[in-house]
Structure 1
Amino acid sequence: MNQPTDRQPDRQVVASVLATGQQMSRDQRRGRYTPASMRHPGKMLPAIARHVICAYTRPGELVADPMFGIGTTLVEAIHLGRDAIGVEIEGTFTHLAIGNLLLAQSQGATGTAKVCNGDGRAIGALFPERRGQVALVLTSPPYGKHTHGHVRPDSPTLGGKVEKSNFRYTRPGERRSANLADQPLDGLLGGFGYILGASAALLRPGGIVAVTVRPIRIQGTLVDLPGRVIAVAEEYGLTLVDRRAALLTAVRGGGLVTRASFFQLLETRRARGRGLPACATAHEDLLIFQPVTDLDSPPAPAPVPGRDGGHR
């Protein structure tokens, strides 16, 4: 089996834990994404996107994201010499992604990208000419306001209380029936499964669907969101062929350094105070799927990440 990287190593090594949190998220984006991009409530870590793209595609191949947000998957793809297509339901984020793609091109990115503002469930209809050409679909489900947002303690506008911002995917009352982030969990998962199935229909033989996802708490209850995503993906003709841990923490001296936000740490302490065995999130699950009908062309193993969080 050939490994899809620029340089073929003498020996294939599979890493089950990926050191993708060596730099803080804001440092990974600084100068590579526009400052306005920070408004998005749930951004994929650029190092995770780079790892997956390097591991499962070659330069010149096509990467897709049916829910691209600020365009992390697309930006990292064109920086790595891949082409990219994507769909985003929110016009505000679509414009932010376009700005990030233009910035990438100004910095010498050699890949090309085409994006649409629309529903990810219609990705096949929006890109019919790309059917059978996509090497990798890389995306993540929205978690809604339960997980994301920016927090400012001792807010003067709230009399010293905690102020939370940038936690909504839509404005109040705006297209709430369309954005999966505003749906109850079952509705979110059903829509996400449909999006995965529609995206998989664009894959070339041997292509894969990669999903980054983590468990979440909803009203104090821990939800195994990775397990739920696996189940719904199977309903749409995809089967899990690999599963890895992408670190959101740094590795220092044999230990882990948390990258959790103030809000995440605060909620963890509150949960522990109620007797719940809560922990700050240290990693995301990286789930690798293939269509059930395509299992004769297994994906190549990923290379080991370098010490600096880059990839060999």
Structure 2
Amino acid sequence: MHHENNEGSVSSSAPRVSTSGRSVWETGQQQAARQRGNRYSRLSLEHPARMLPAIAAHAIATYTRPGDVVLDPMCGIGTTLVEAAHQDRRAVGIELEPKWASIARLNLETAAVQGATGSGEVHTGDAAEIAARLAKTALAGRVRLVITSPPYGSMTHGQVRSRRDGADTVEKTAYTYSRDRDRRAANLAYQRPQALADSFARIMAACRDLLAPDGVVVVTTRPFRKDGKLIDFPGQITQACQEAGLVQIDRCAALLCAVRDGEVVGRTSFFQLVEVRRLRKGGVPVHVVQHEDALVFTNPSTQKNKEREVRAA
């Protein structure tokens, strides 16, 4: 099953740096399980928070061309890498946790067996350190797209299943990023908000040296609630990217819900539904989040060149 973005592929004459043309990406038309189909190993389900394949596919088709290099510095089970390989791109992933890195490699092998014309590789270790090392190789200045999603909001993580003992409750599974205490300090999923933002800024700064002159960075994230309060995580990540020296050029909404005949078909996690119902009972007028914020950045030099071109025209 092939999952292209809803707008189709970018032609060879498309500009390297551009917006998607639409601020809303229709990336939730199919349920996540159907989007993944047989492209991904069942082991992928053990990851707490996987990027929706259609979001990755849309960003890749919008901001790159066949043959371009796509980098994900926190690639998890390799969703961005698999979608890039199926669109004839060269995918490079970095993953701190050996378990997820192994599954990402397995998913790339599956893509190759299924006829993907692109290629992929996965490096295991600290994202900033490996990106800095890769910047000393021939990969420096060749990455057209950095795409990633930092961990956020425990309500979006994990799976639920009925209790095996027959109790009328559910139990949560697959919600842990790492069981290694030594690596947890470096894992963004276990850092406090400010430390997480600082770590993400460090990763983005390291990735800048890998970006092509007209390269683009896409970060997907969403607001989440903690203790009933809405946390502006997209705003925190935007600030982190700006501290890394990147310039924001777009902010889009990648839908997690479907739109059919003018009606919204909701898709949300069990945990988010439970939290929303709890808050509503307490008189708080909240709603479920039905989109990811797709934050788009470029290098300052690229942005300045575009501004000069506009003034000259």
Please report the TM-score for the alignment, with normalisation by the length of structure 1. 0.89
Larger displacement relative to structure 2 (174-183 or 206-215) = 174-183
Structure 2 match to 1:39: 46
Distance in structure 2 (CA, Å) of the matches to 1:165 and 1:158: 16
Q: Does 1:5 align with 2:7?
A: no
Contact 1:83/1:113 (8 A) holds in 2: yes
Relative to structure 1, the CA distance from residue 262 to residue 144 in structure 2 (aligned partners, 3 Å threshold; closer, same or farther) is: closer
* Aligned: 1:289 with 2:294: no
Q: Equivalent of 1:191, from 199, 204, 209? A: 199
Tell me, in whole angstroms, the C-alpha distance in 2 between the residues paired with 1:63 and 1:6: 17
Over aligned residues, Cα RMSD in angstroms? 2.1
Matches within 5 A, 1:177-188: 177-188=185-196
Shift of 1:172: 6.5
Question: CA offsets per residue over residues 22-70 of structure 1, 9 Å max, x none?
Answer: 0000110110111110111110010011100000101001000000000
2:130 matches 1:107: no
Name the counterpart of 1:273.
281
Residue in structure 2 matched with residue 162 of structure 1 by the alignment:
170
Whether contact under 8 Å (2:222, 2:291) holds in the other structure is yes
- Tell which deviates more after alignment, 245-254 or 217-226: 217-226
Q: 1:132 aligns with which of 141, 164, 186?
A: 141
Instruction: Work out whether residues 152 and 221 of structure 2, in 8 Å CA contact, stay in contact via their aligned partners in 1.
Output: no
Q: Does 1:264 align with 2:272?
A: yes
Matched residues in 2 for 1:104 and 1:112: separation?
A: 9
Question: Matches of 2:196 and 2:271 in 1, distance apart?
Answer: 23
- Residues 1:60 and 2:71 are matched in the alignment: no
* Distance (Å, rounded) in 2 between the aligned partners of 1:177 and 1:159: 36
Equivalent residue runs for 1:74-153 within 5 Å: 74-127=81-134, 128-129=136-137, 130-143=139-152, 145-153=154-162
Q: What letter is aligned with 1:149?
A: G
Q: Are 1:200 and 1:209, in contact at CA under 8 Å, matched by a contact in 2? A: no
Tell me, in whole angstroms, the C-alpha distance in 1 between the residues paired with 2:179 and 2:306.
42
1:156 Cα offset (Å): 3.3
Verify the 8 A CA contact 1:136 1:209 in the aligned structure 2.
yes
Which aligned runs of 4 or more in structure 1 are off by greater than 6 angstroms?
Answer: none
Q: Which has the higher contact order (CA 8 A, sep 6+)?
A: 1
What is the rounded CA distance, in whole Å, between the counterparts of 1:298 and 1:248 in structure 2?
A: 32
Unpaired stretches in structure 2, ≥5 consecutive residues: 1-8, 308-313
Describe the SS at the equivalent of 1:175: helix
More displaced stretch, 49-58 vs 12-21: 12-21
Residue ranges of structure 1 left out of the alignment (5+ in a row): 300-312
Contact kept, 8 Å, 1:197 with 1:236, in 2: the verdict is: yes
Deviations 1:226-264 (A, max 9, x none): 111111111110111011110000011101101112222
Residue 304 of structure 1 corresponds to which residue in structure 2?
A: none
Superposed displacement of residue 6, structure 1:
3.1
Aligned residue identity for 1:116: H
Asked if the contact 1:43–1:69 (Cα under 8 Å) also holds between the matched residues in 2, the reply is yes
Q: Structure 1 residues 268 and 144 mapped into 2: Cα distance closer, same or farther (>3 Å)?
A: closer
Q: Output the amino acid matched with 1:34.
A: S
1:189 Cα deviation from its structure 2 partner? 1.1
Identity of aligned residues (%): 46
Shift of 1:220: 1.9
Name which of structure 1's ranges 99-108 and 197-206 shifts more when overlaid on structure 2. Answer: 197-206
Structure 1, 167-176 or 40-49: larger mean CA deviation = 167-176
CA distance in 2, matches of 1:147, 1:236: 27
